Amino acid sequence: MFATPLDDTTLDLATRSYDTVLLGEGDTPLGHLRKQADIHQAHHTVSAHYRAVEQAQQALYVAIDHTINEFPATLGSVLWEEHWTGYPDPWLTEDANGFAVAHLGDGVWVHHTVTTSSCDDGHSVRWQVSERHTVTLIAPCSCGQGYRTAPIASEDELLDMVHEFTREPCSISKHGCPHPCGSAR
């Protein structure tokens, strides 16, 4: 699970409100405003931290749950909680989903995330919320210059991609990589 840790100064400031700050006699109006701004920032930082922790933890559990249910013979059988690392939504947006990754060895990773979308069902004011799970395999390209990614929808696809990603020997290609791997060559 990944989230930026909080320092003591931030935690201390976040327990305060402006009224409880001991104002120095000699503080200028700008000085008072700075204290208020520091407290405001600390409250913001602490709530963002807990949002990150929650999103990362949620992403971890959702990934485990999804792979156990949808990939019971492969990912669900070999990846446990300690293999997965959960991350928060990169922008820490409220109600956004984080993602989780697990290393399968040799630089090959599996990435899981959930896309939540809501839409009007057209008949009432009720909104339908749907969740789409995306499992992606990420592997170093055999050209050694980039990474290849493949969306995985089933265990058969997973086995095919793992096979493809591991069977090609590393090569130094002089004429450009044949894969869409993001390499400059």
Which residues of this protein are in contact with Zn ion, per CB under 5 A?
141, 143, 146, 177, 179, 181, 183
Shortest gap between Cβ of 174 and Zn ion (angstroms)? Answer: 13
Tell me whether residue 32 or residue 179 sits nearer to Zn ion (CB atom). 179
- For Cα atoms 6, 7, 10, give the angle at the middle one, nearest 5 degrees: 90
Asked if 59 and 96 count as a contact pair (C-beta separation under 8 A), the reply is no
What CA–CA distance (Å, rounded) separates 163 from 181?
A: 17
What amino acid occupies position 58?
A: Q
Shortest gap between Cβ of 13 and Zn ion (angstroms)? Answer: 49
Tell me whether residue 64 or residue 177 sits nearer to Zn ion (CB atom). 177
Shortest gap between Cβ of 142 and Zn ion (angstroms)? Answer: 7
Shortest gap between Cβ of 93 and Zn ion (angstroms)? Answer: 33
Tell me whether residue 57 or residue 183 sits nearer to Zn ion (CB atom). 183
What CA–CA distance (Å, rounded) separates 157 from 163?
A: 10
Two tokens, residue 64: 């485990």
Shortest gap between Cβ of 184 and Zn ion (angstroms)? Answer: 10
What CA–CA distance (Å, rounded) separates 48 from 96?
A: 12
Tell me whether residue 125 or residue 170 sits nearer to Zn ion (CB atom). 170
Q: How many CB atoms lie within 10 A of CB 118?
A: 9
- For Cα atoms 178, 184, 185, give the angle at the middle one, nearest 5 degrees: 50
Tell me whether residue 18 or residue 147 sits nearer to Zn ion (CB atom). 147
